[in-house]
A and B are shown apart, each in its own frame.
Chain A
Amino acid sequence: LAKTTQPISMDSYEGQEVNITCSHNNIATNDYITWYQQFPSQGPRFIIQGYKTKVTNEVASLFIPADRKSSTLSLPRVSLSDTAVYYCLVGDFSGNTGKLIFGQGTTLQVKP
């Protein structure tokens, strides 16, 4: 099973771009990379998912290099409300043998 490694915590200021990198050296061919956001006392919320290269949606971008052994979640111009825990997941769901591993996540603190 592919495990992930992320920084435990990061600090930023309002209006800055934040990049959170996740390492997943044992990623398998069929694995996708997914990022979730979690606020205290709530369930996680999906941010973005990708397989390779770059994916962008209305809230974030996901950069995946060619070897796929890492990925970077980019949050443009963060605000105080982006203070949360961010999880990188790597999972394979081919043939009903899928597992999803949440790591400890990265606690992002956005300061005014």
Chain B
Amino acid sequence: NAGVTQTPKFQVLKTGQSMTLQCAQDMNHNSMYWYRQDPGMGLRLIYYSASEGTTDKGEVPNGYNVSRLNKREFSLRLESAAPSQTSVYFCASSDTLGNEQFFGPGTRLTVL
């Protein structure tokens, strides 16, 4: 089992560009999450999906959109990237909402 995989691992964008971060899990989990982590800070929840077909806002949703494509995949889209979105993005999944989360390796995003 690969667990939680994220692509890409690194990305550099210019202000105003768009991109989609991909996340997939092979643990048959119902719930998935997107977090961002700024240098020296804790993780902040952007969006989460309690189950396939549902999504909900977390602590810092502005500037992002998500899609729960199917049970395995949960993508995060930046429509118009801003320097303030420079961060490391982590995807996670759990069997049900609130239970032990398994995290991916992260995507390091820089917006110039």
CB contact between B98 and one of A42, A44, A45, A91 (< 8 Å): that residue: A91
B46 to chain A, nearest CB (A): 11
Question: Which stretch (A19-27, A60-68, A70-78, A99-107) binds chain B?
Answer: A99-107
Check if B104 sits within 8 Å of A103, measured CB to CB.
no
Using CB atoms, name the residue of chain B closest to A104: B42
Known: A43-B105, A43-B106, A44-B103. A93 touches B97 (CB 8 A): yes
Check if B45 sits within 8 Å of A99, measured CB to CB.
yes
Question: Which stretch (B14-22, B54-62, B63-71, B72-80) binds chain A?
Answer: B54-62
**A100→B50 CA distance, assembly (Å):** 13
Size of interface on A: residues with Cβ below 8 Å to B: 23
Check if B103 sits within 8 Å of A99, measured CB to CB.
no
The binding surface of chain B is classed by DSSP as loop
CB contact between A96 and one of B41, B44, B54, B90 (< 8 Å): that residue: B54
User: Size class of B's contact patch?
Assistant: 20 to 34
Check if A103 sits within 8 Å of B100, measured CB to CB.
no
CB contact between A32 and one of B43, B48, B90, B98 (< 8 Å): that residue: B98
B45 to chain A, nearest CB (A): 5
**A46→B41 CA distance, assembly (Å):** 18
* Interface membership of chain A positions 72-112, coded 1 if the CB is closer than 8 angstroms to chain B and 0 otherwise: 00000000000000010001110010111111110000000
> What are 6 A-to-B residue pairs whose CB atoms are below 8 Å?
A36-B101, A41-B106, A43-B105, A100-B33, A104-B40, A104-B42
B residues contacting A by CB (< 8 A) are: 4, 33, 35, 40-45, 48, 50, 54, 56, 58-59, 90, 92, 96-106
